[in-house]
Chain A
Amino acid sequence: MKKCCLLVALLLPLCLSRVTAQSYVAFAAGPARDLNNLRIPIYQAPIVFQWKPSPRFAGVIFDVEASMPFDGSSSRVAYTLNPTLPDQLRVRESILPFSWTVGIGFHIRFRHDQKKKNLPGQKKEEAWALEIYPAEIEGQVINVHYSSYDKSNYDILNPDVGTNRGGPEAAIALSHSVSNGFSVMLRARTPPLASLGSYPLSFRFVAPLQVLLRYKLYQKRRK
């Protein structure tokens, strides 16, 4: 039963998608905010490459993404037995998640207007589309750094450690084409289906909400 549901979920976008769009390659970038660690503000900068093959493939998009961290800080308390030093101090903790994703998605266009602009030969395209990425593989390398402190005298309570894990994940996006080639995309990713290990950490896998500006390079249609 579960397998049937999974199969239907995978094939449904294929049935719904409209086979009208041209094939293209696209590049996208923008900021992302992690929604899975609300206590620690973690931000990333994703760079996305997408390829939509010919219309025969009914809205299939191949998606590759790499995300760099640009902020994610918390703090920890360190303690010492040395009576000549303050008994505790706060240490700044930086949580820096790098991630990569490879997978396929489906493009479902549900509103499309093509208006002729004043200049001949130019068209203004307005389209809203839903993009579903049900089958993706994601790897996350989460590095943890502490600001410099006296390691010989102080011990951090419950220190975090870095991790390098990965697994399947999914994403959903809403995109709006604003002009020829350019579109804005709001995309939410789930965290990868994997374990962080047995040692308790103060953070979880990141699940970013991304605001991406995408530029599509359309490939010429064959006559």
Chain B
Amino acid sequence: MDRVDLVDANVELLLRLRDITKEYNIGGQEVYALDGVSLDVNVGEFVAIMGPSGSGKSTMMNMIGCLDVPSGGSYEIDGAEVSSLDDDELASIRNKKIGFVFQGFNLIARTTALENVELPLVYGRIKDRRNTAIAALQRVGLGDRIEHTSSELSGGQQQRVAIARAIVTQPRLILADEPTGNISTLQSEEIMQIFQELNDNGVTIVMVTHEEDIARHCKRRVEMRDGKIVSDQPIEDRLVAKDVIEQMKSQAITRKPLALAGT
């Protein structure tokens, strides 16, 4: 197993997983969703976690996101050992250090974009919520949609609201679980563009995806199978979302007359 070891004094360790196990009892049988996973993620990394379904990548995300607790092993986030924290402290870590982006967007229904984005600030007891939330929405290009409810937004727009909600508390880590799973290719690229910009500004991103094209936007690729990490490599031929979008748009323009000619 290859592992990228960046032992460098200038690099700050953000996540430190050691021999993490997670077992479920299904029908009287112990099933290991995670079977001794060790992983280090430094500040500023952009990691894609890949693998077939059942490989344990989602369980891994839930562990990293402090939504679930491991059965064994040690997990430190930003120097804090997660197993020693109580529920309220975990909630506080989720609120301040982590931003979640889910496959199904997970916006709160019948609530405006602005209110969705304000919510982490509400739970974080932060003042001046409105302006902070508007700034986050502007950053994802939705400054003109703040009063729209989720049913009035497209899939890509909803996912951008979710990203705004994830970044509004300026967390060190963004966790994205199949963030492009439910949206079109162009919108996916737009989402990846936002992630790349965030990453360029120093935000660490860990993303679960099964799409090879999406994973190529990241900097590091971790592959899992049967609850174990089977490969961990830097991405050589990295895609830049901005370029891909421009390419797609120019193709669309050149393709249009062709399509017309065909009819």
A, B in one complex = no
